[in-house]
Copies of this chain bind each other. A is one copy, B any other.
């Protein structure tokens, strides 16, 4: 989510203006809904296809390019069977109690397996949203940085579920927002402050990524604390699917890096997780993280699915899927020019500019049988509306060619 205004902010500047957001985005949401582009309710079909009910007796087949199941794992038979078997074995879907109290033994098994897989201390959450809102206040408190409260610096494109927490952490420490990937501004802040924590996405949901190596350099030189939401990078990179951020840190996370990631998206199950570097961090999170103490765990189906997915992450199949994804992305790049062309990242955005023109283009593509996301403020900046498309390893060559042709036709029209 991008902010309406840019530049450095201080705790005294308001981070939110919901009424203004609704006023600005309302007409475009209305247009997109009218055009049948928003909130589709569909049934699964084969592969990446779905069927959209039109009437009692008719439905429209669509190939979906909206979902972020980058490796095509969300309908993997082992993962589906893992979910079913776990619910059957446990005879329940969910226990309502805080994780500080009672947990399914299988959840312990899952967190052990994920910790081994990613060489980190992994704690699961119901969503990445819950992981982020749990982690950021603990970082702000200074308890993870030797008792010294950090200056918390947010990338201005940091995901909405990160940016939401700015006023919360601003009650405990100084908060600043810097330009997207502005490493120089970040270094200036590191020079001027003893303790600094940086909050960013690994892979950005609207394209692009964090400069992990440069951030690690700042960490080495200034002790910078890093909190990286790698929801869109998990599973896609690394021999074991460690993800975009973790796979660039072969030496381990250490005391000053925490990575959030999804158990959905590339991973193919359901939920979120945090990768921590130390046992001290783990103890703090298992006692005091808001969602750990005052909300629920992932349900048994999600536990079973994630256990199956982590097993796939240890097999050659993972590499085969990573390679297939890379090939489909390359094919798409050959056919449709975007700012992200040539990148290994899976998200492509086509800028149209005008909001209504972007919505119209998405409708033309939908009529051709392909569902893509019409993106506009607040998802992207005003006047930078367009289409977002997520090729996956589960698509076919014909589907990637088909959606590319439909997009090119829509852009000409």
Separation of A108 and B299 alpha carbons in the complex (Å):
21
Q: Are A87 and B83 in contact (CB under 8 A)?
A: yes
A54 contacts partner chain B, Cβ-Cβ < 8 Å? no
Q: Given A94-B269, A96-B265, A167-B170, decide whether A67 and B147 contact each other with a Cβ distance below 8 A.
A: no
Tell me the minimal C-beta distance from A286 to chain B in angstroms.
6
- Select A18's contact among B41, B88, B164, B172, beta carbons within 8 Å: B172
The DSSP consensus for interface residues of chain A is mixed
Q: Which residues of B contact A295 (CB under 8 A)?
A: 127-129, 161
Question: How many copies of this chain are found per oligomer?
Answer: 2
- Docked complex: A56-105 residues within 8 A CB-CB of B: 64, 66-69, 74-75, 79-80, 83-84, 87-88, 90-97, 99-105
Task: Determine, out of A9-17, A193-201, A252-260, the stretch whose residues face the partner at the interface.
Answer: A9-17
Q: Which residues of B contact A69 (CB under 8 A)?
A: 95-96
- Docked complex: A126-150 residues within 8 A CB-CB of B: 126-130, 133, 137-138, 140-143, 147, 149
Separation of A88 and B305 alpha carbons in the complex (Å):
13
Per-position 1/0 for A355-396, Cβ under 8 A of B:
000000000000000010100000100000000000000000
Q: Given A92-B74, A270-B93, decide whether A104 and B42 contact each other with a Cβ distance below 8 A.
A: yes
- Select A305's contact among B64, B93, B143, beta carbons within 8 Å: B93
Q: Are A94 and B270 in contact (CB under 8 A)?
A: yes
- Select A67's contact among B29, B95, B270, B373, beta carbons within 8 Å: B95
A284 contacts partner chain B, Cβ-Cβ < 8 Å? yes
Q: Which residue of B lies closest to A39 (CB)?
A: B100
The size class of the interface chain A forms with chain B is 35 or more
A50 contacts partner chain B, Cβ-Cβ < 8 Å? yes
Q: Which residues of B contact A79 (CB under 8 A)?
A: 93
A318 contacts partner chain B, Cβ-Cβ < 8 Å? no
Q: Which residues of B contact A168 (CB under 8 A)?
A: 16, 164-165, 167-168
A22 contacts partner chain B, Cβ-Cβ < 8 Å? yes
25 A-B residue pairings within 8 Å (CB atoms): A15-B171, A18-B137, A18-B288, A22-B143, A25-B287, A25-B288, A39-B103, A39-B286, A42-B105, A50-B102, A53-B105, A66-B102, A67-B95, A67-B96, A69-B95, A93-B301, A94-B302, A96-B264, A127-B130, A129-B290, A129-B294, A130-B130, A161-B295, A270-B299, A300-B301
